[in-house]
């Protein structure tokens, strides 16, 4: 009898304690999004406008609690409108920075 009561209470207890545990560990892990834009060079107007727009969107999403309770974080790289530089940054974001998604790649030479 006592055991069945515990099993009914356990999910409620976990639901109450889990947010406290996450807060004590520095909160939920952010969702990292990579951006590869031409921030310098002849295409910098487009690249910087896109970067600012992405940052505004991320700020607004984070102000209402993030995505599924996780904050978003931008990882920005400048490809300087150079295909080789864009490809290098794309590989770095995926392989080293472990981003969840990427935006950009307009100067990578990829189809």
CA-CA distance, 10 to 33, in Å (whole number)? 36
72-78 and 31-37 beta bridge pairing = parallel
User: Could you give all domains of the chain from N- to C-terminal order, each with its CATH number?
Assistant: 29-104 (3.40.50.2300)
Classify burial at 104, counting beta carbons within 10 Å of its beta carbon; exposed 0-12, middle 13-18, buried 19 or more: buried
Calculate what percentage of the chain has a pLDDT beyond 70: 71
Residue 102 burial (CB count, 10 A): 18
The pTM score is 0.70
- The mean pLDDT of 11-34, rounded to a whole number, is 65
Q: What is the tens place of the pLDDT at every residue in 58-74?
A: 999 999 999 999 999 99
């Amino acid at each position: 009898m006592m055991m069945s009561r515990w099993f009914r209470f356990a999910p409620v207890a976990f639901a109450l304690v889990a947010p406290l545990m996450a807060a004590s560990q520095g909160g939920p892990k952010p969702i990292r999004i990579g951006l590869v834009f031409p921030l310098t060079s002849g295409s910098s107007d487009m690249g910087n406008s896109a970067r600012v727009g992405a940052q505004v969107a991320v700020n607004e999403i984070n102000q209402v609690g993030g995505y599924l309770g996780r904050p978003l974080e931008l990882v920005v790289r400048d490809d300087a409108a150079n295909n080789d530089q864009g490809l290098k940054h794309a590989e770095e974001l995926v392989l080293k920075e472990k981003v969840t998604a990427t935006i950009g790649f307009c100067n990578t030479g990829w189809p």
